[in-house]
Structure 1
Amino acid sequence: MDALSSTTHLHIAAWAVGIILFFVAYFSKPDAKGRKVTHMILRLFYIFIIVSGLLLFLNYHGINDMMYGIKLVLGVVTIGLMEMALVKSQKGKNGKGFMIGFIVVFIITFLVGSYLPVGINLFGN
């Protein structure tokens, strides 16, 4: 279990695949069968993302409790916005607000994760 929770590789890989699947599903035709399959696979990756993120949180929150807590909440909000954008567009309704919200919250989440000591070192700290 230590290999799954001591590095961010699984979490970053799950996010990368999740983002790709999200955009494939979002820009597919609403009535396409492949969209449903892609959406279901994406939901499986939501579980990978949440579990790997929770393991990282449990291992490293002692370094900076507040920032890791903020990152956890932002991550869950990001996944919620992804799901809402897909469901809205699936029903033929306008999901652009959720899509814009997703992009904004994802960027903030990514930047907060980059700031954390276990994250990608973008800021040189």
Structure 2
Amino acid sequence: MSLGTVTPILRMFDVDKTKDFYVGFLGFNVDWEHRFEEGLPLYMQVSKDGCVLHLSEHHGDGSPGSAIRIATTDIDEFHQRLLASGYRYSRPGVMDTAWKTREMTIHDPASNRLTFSTAVDVDQ
């Protein structure tokens, strides 16, 4: 018996702002979108490298203000890319933590909190 990967479902309210944030700012790709019919809520998957997220307009799918942590291999490089993007709604900073990580926290348009984290090599 083994467990598989986890795919968080985050709430969204504005599809255009959500795509601008995840695709335009963070560099994710939209893998697929689903609506039961025109005019009904959107459910979609976005991904970047090994990170897969589901975003949903459906009432009851996730709570606005949820928090997730995403492991990142080089937080400083990612941080510089985000600052260079010119996205006008967020200018995140990076901080060192007592638990030996460097972290960058960003809120999406639905106030979900994404914390990107890189482990710090304590032997250096």
Alignment TM-score, normalising by the size of structure 1: 0.27
Higher helix share: 1
Higher strand share: 2
